[in-house]
Amino acid sequence: MESYNQKINLENTNISLYIKREDLLHPLISGNKIRKLKYNLQQAKNENKETLLTFGGAFSNHILAVAAAGKEQGFKTIGIIRGEELKDKVLENPTLKKASDLGMVFEFVRREIYKEKSSPEFTRLLTEKFGDFYLIPEGGTNDLAVKGCEEILTETEDKFDYICCAVGTGGTVSGLINCSKDSQQVLGFPVLKGDFLREDICKFVSGTKWDLITAYHFEGYAKVSEELILFINEFYKKYKIPLDPIYTGKMMFGVMDLIDKNYFPENSKVLVIHTGGLQGIAGMNNLLKHKKQLQITIYD
């Protein structure tokens, strides 16, 4: 699997900007999810597990990634989905429909119960119901996922001064921090509100050459504004690079805004990681259509 660094030609600045197209690694196991699953699937095999079980929301990139990776590598897959009301909506939900076509079995749970998903009691109930499984946490972040994300940067990226990526649970940015050079600064752009991320990341990293830029969450996880959608559509028109509304769109909006505000020193070389997530556009467009709001341009 390989991705490449694509130049983004900016005007009126001496900052050079590149994007690492991890979104091109796989059509279904999007961007960073293929990195996060690699060593987990090896571990599941080492433990002779036949089933993968994980958790996610209605449009989760991680859920689809696990369904697709499981299918490719011969595992049964179970998805514990947040929201009991989604049970009857699988066919109208592009993410769940694809995951189901790939063989994933769903268990839909009420939000109050979903909150307890990490408790030993919930795991025990799941084992009673489904038998033995290899558990992958929500969003896929654990030590082995971070190890996989440490392979995103190679010597090719040594020349960059800044590495930027979107942050959900923090596994990907942790891997980037661990594999970055001393000369590099890693900037994470959280896509949700909250202060817990810094602590979560500290559990996985030792370096201090990183920071979180918390001004671009657009009011929270999976929340979008017309300004964000206009930005994503403009960006696609100009550079022919598709961005997703939940992660990479917000991060890229932030990076462009920081460039405008002269955040980066003169002549900085900046690399942004395209972590994928494009499968989520269809589901978001359904929601936007429902609310009679602007659609995200679908690329071909």
Ligand X SMILES: *Cc1c(COP(=O)(O)O)cnc(C)c1O
Q: Which of residues 84-143 bind ligand X (CB under 6 A)?
A: 139, 141
119: exposed, middle or buried (C-beta count within 10 Å: 0-12, 13-18, 19+)?
exposed
What mask, x for binding ligand X by CB under 6 A, covers residues 132 to 171? -------x-x------------------------xxxxxx
Q: Which of residues 17-36 bind ligand X (CB under 6 A)?
A: 30-33
**Minimum distance between the CB of residue 80 and ligand X, rounded to whole angstroms?**
17
Q: Is 247 in the site for ligand X (CB under 6 A)?
A: yes
Nearer to ligand X, 50 or 211 (CB): 211
Q: Which of residues 58-77 bind ligand X (CB under 6 A)?
A: 61-62
Question: Which of the stretches 51-59, 114-122, 202-210, 244-252 binds ligand X when contact is defined by CB under 6 A?
Answer: 244-252
Nearer to ligand X, 184 or 248 (CB): 248
**Minimum distance between the CB of residue 285 and ligand X, rounded to whole angstroms?**
16
HEC assignment per residue over the chain: CCCCEEEECCCCCCCEEEEEEHHHCCCCCCCHHHHHHHHHHHHHHHCCCCEEEEEECCCCHHHHHHHHHHHHHCCEEEEEEECHHHHHHHHHCHHHHHHHHCCCEEEEECHHHHCCCCCHHHHHHHHHHHCCCEECCHHHCCHHHHHHHCCCCCHHHCCCCEEEEEECCCHHHHHHHHHCCCCCEEEEEECCCCCHHHHHHHCCCCCCCEEECCCCCCCCCCCCCHHHHHHHHHHHHHHCCCCCCCCHHHHHHHHHHHHHCCCCCCCCEEEEEECCCCCHHHHHHHHHHHCCCCCCCCCC
Q: Is 205 in the site for ligand X (CB under 6 A)?
A: no
Q: Is 57 in the site for ligand X (CB under 6 A)?
A: no
**Minimum distance between the CB of residue 50 and ligand X, rounded to whole angstroms?**
25
Q: Is 244 in the site for ligand X (CB under 6 A)?
A: yes
138 and 54 in contact (C-beta within 8 Å)?
yes
Question: Which of the stretches 41-49, 202-210, 234-242, 243-251 binds ligand X when contact is defined by CB under 6 A?
Answer: 243-251
Q: Which of residues 256-285 bind ligand X (CB under 6 A)?
A: 275-277
**Minimum distance between the CB of residue 170 and ligand X, rounded to whole angstroms?**
5
Nearer to ligand X, 108 or 247 (CB): 247
Nearer to ligand X, 162 or 247 (CB): 247
Nearer to ligand X, 16 or 248 (CB): 248
Size of the site for ligand X (CB under 6 A): 22
| Buried/exposed 97-117: b ≥16 CB within 10 Å, e otherwise | bbbbebebebebbeeeebeeb
Nearer to ligand X, 177 or 258 (CB): 177
- Of all residues in the shown chain, the one whose CB is closest to ligand X is 277
In the complex, the residues that contact ligand X under the rule CB under 6 A are: 30-33, 61-62, 139, 141, 166-173, 244, 247-248, 275-277
